[in-house]
Structure 1
Amino acid sequence: MYKKLTSFFAAIAIILCFAGCGSDHAPNYTLVFQSDFGLKDGAVSAMKGVASGVSKEIRIYDVTHEIPAYNIWEASFRLVQTAPYWPAGTVFVSVVDPGVGTERKSVVLLTETGHYFVTPDNGTLTLVAEQMGIKEVREIDEVTNRRKNSEESYTFHGRDVYAFTGARLASRAISFVEVGSKLPAEVVKIPYQKARFENGHVLGSIPILDIQYGNVWTNIDRKLFDNLKLKVGDDINVQVSKGDSGVFKGKVRYVNTFGDVPEGKSVGYFNSLLQFSLGINMGNFSQKYGVGSGNDWRIELTR
């Protein structure tokens, strides 16, 4: 009898191991939404309603729903700005989908860090794939992973496909394998200018603005910046351009924080993502100088 019980419990242990071993990447009942829908109508609420209908155990949060309409690049940045601070197993649903209803693929990306991203494969995953790594990509099977009786709806995949699939994955109603067929470990990427040091100049781009305060965030990290051999308190020569047109040219003080200079004075500093940024103490740099963001915006720093 003892041997039989021992064999029984050993078998159970093996089964549990297959179910749980390597479960660092298992979904953790947390679902985080992002979109360009805004909050003026019921679109976001509808997505959350679908998710809640799948499982009441899911914890639902938001990145933002204020991505500018159709701005896939900004969606990509906001995901990588946020996702690393969430636990492995978190499921993100990002819906910025100007090609809704077309042939673009609907996918779920599992990153090397153990995070899941449910989204159209239209460039939204550019920075997440680059910085968090691609472990596996699966195409959503819309025959099985689609809200019931939504087959005739072609323009709200955020509700009918992405929220539904994300909730099923987050709640473990389906496994990652059950999302759909495995795809090559690659995603659609938006080309952009990477930062570099060249002939005594640090060259970069302006991927995003710190919208609330008008600070200008660049893709220049501290390692590149240190090539200029500047100390805190030094002035930096800055040029900002859009395409071939100059927008700003001048000196800014390199500081640790805004209060290191008088009110109204421009500064260069490292933001919370440790990327070089421009701002004004108690002011709005972007608005004052007409600086925007995107792949055609460039910045150059020199001593």
Structure 2
Amino acid sequence: MKALKSLLLILLLLPLTAFAKAPLVFMTDFGVRDGAVSAMKGVAYGISPDLLISDLSHEITGIFDGAYRLYQTEEFWPRSTVFVTVIDPGVGTSRQSVVLRTRNGQYFVGPNNGLYTLVAEREGIDELRLIDEKVNRRPGSAGSYTFHGRDVFAYTAAKLASGQITFEQVGPRLPNSDLISIPYRHAERQGDVITGGIPVLDVAYGNVWSNIPQSMFDELKVRVGEPLNVRIYNGTKLVHEERIPYQHTFGNVPVGQPLIYVNSLMNIAIALNQGNYAVAHGIESGGECWMEIQKSK
């Protein structure tokens, strides 16, 4: 009895981190209408039933959309978080299966196809490793060529998050320069004109998000309520043009009226108060879509 009490006392005094697993976050383009996401989670729980599993999204529409959703969320997750990212049109081909460790100590497990463009740019690359599928692949899955999300990525990520393997045991190190990056339009200012890409839409509300940082917009010295000339393009085609006021929040303009505002990522965005700006004006997002904001003289 005395020994048991001593053991219980030791357990109570141990920090919670002694038992904690690294968070495991799933992002895919699978949707949730079938069993694919559940199968991946089942594999992870089979590795360690006390893993802390969360979902980023399973409605990703493409590689750059996935890259931006990682950029949108990863900075709010703690060090050692393991992200499983399965937007993988090249599954089963010669594309590489990798684990990226960024300089902030997070891990990204998935295909080397550009998904990590934005997080690598912001956080920096610490190391890149090729997954050794001879040891880091779900047993009995060698004949499966089209579900690496379940058989390779979820399996490897769960072993890494649970501490059953170290990062070095993932597989051989690759040169950091081997990480594939997607080209995209960066924000830039020329005088009173700022241009920037439209990487994604705020899908719930139809707000149009740019990658123009507030710091660059502030260089225009725009007053709250001041209207600006806005042009939105898809490639070289002008899709929409309008004068829109800069405001802090949606309720500062009448219902149905547009505004320029700073979104949750501290980037410039355009919205329609209690409406869907993207639908109203036929605006899309992606590598070819961009906007121009000009201060009136």
TM-score by length of 1: 0.90
Match of 2:109, SS state, is strand
Match of 2:243, SS state, is strand
Partner residue in 2 for 1:127: 118
- Range moving further from structure 2, 109-118 or 192-201: 192-201
- How far apart in 1 are the matches of 2:24 and 2:236? 42
1:94 Cα deviation from its structure 2 partner: 0.2
- How far apart in 1 are the matches of 2:135 and 2:78? 28
Match of 1:292, SS state, is coil
- How far apart in 2 are the matches of 1:243 and 1:57? 48
Match of 1:252, SS state, is strand
- Note if 1:301 corresponds to 2:296: no
- Note if 1:250 corresponds to 2:267: no
Q: 2:36 aligns with which of 32, 43, 46?
A: 43
The answer on whether the counterparts of 1:28 and 1:90 sit within 8 Å (CA) in structure 2 is: no
The answer on whether the counterparts of 1:28 and 1:89 sit within 8 Å (CA) in structure 2 is: no
- How far apart in 2 are the matches of 1:231 and 1:251? 14
What are the residue-to-residue correspondences of 1:112-151 with 2, within 5 Å? 112-151=103-142
For 1:88, the aligned partner's letter is: R
The answer on whether the counterparts of 1:51 and 1:163 sit within 8 Å (CA) in structure 2 is: yes
- How far apart in 1 are the matches of 2:22 and 2:207? 35
What are the residue-to-residue correspondences of 1:75-114 with 2, within 5 Å? 75-114=66-105
- Superposition RMSD in Å: 1.1
1:256 Cα deviation from its structure 2 partner: 0.4
Cα offsets for 1:174-229 (capped at 9, x unmatched): 00000000011231000001000013210111001000000000000112112222
Q: 1:261 aligns with which of 237, 253, 256?
A: 253
Moved over 6 A (4+): none
- How far apart in 2 are the matches of 1:40 and 1:28? 29
Partner residue in 2 for 1:64: 57
Pairs aligned (count):
276
Query: Sequence identity, in percent?
Result: 49
Q: Which runs of 5+ in 2 are unaligned?
A: 1-16
- How far apart in 2 are the matches of 1:239 and 1:95? 34
For 1:110, the aligned partner's letter is: R
Match of 1:209, SS state, is strand
The answer on whether the counterparts of 1:108 and 1:137 sit within 8 Å (CA) in structure 2 is: yes
What are the residue-to-residue correspondences of 1:189-204 with 2, within 5 Å? 189-204=181-196
Q: Which runs of 5+ in 1 are unaligned?
A: 1-23
- How far apart in 1 are the matches of 2:21 and 2:164? 12
- How far apart in 2 are the matches of 1:118 and 1:244? 36
1:28 Cα deviation from its structure 2 partner: 4.0
Match of 1:148, SS state, is coil
What are the residue-to-residue correspondences of 1:213-232 with 2, within 5 Å? 213-232=205-224
TM-score by length of 2: 0.91
Match of 1:204, SS state, is strand
Match of 1:49, SS state, is helix
Q: 2:225 aligns with which of 212, 227, 233?
A: 233
For 1:214, the aligned partner's letter is: G
For 1:36, the aligned partner's letter is: D
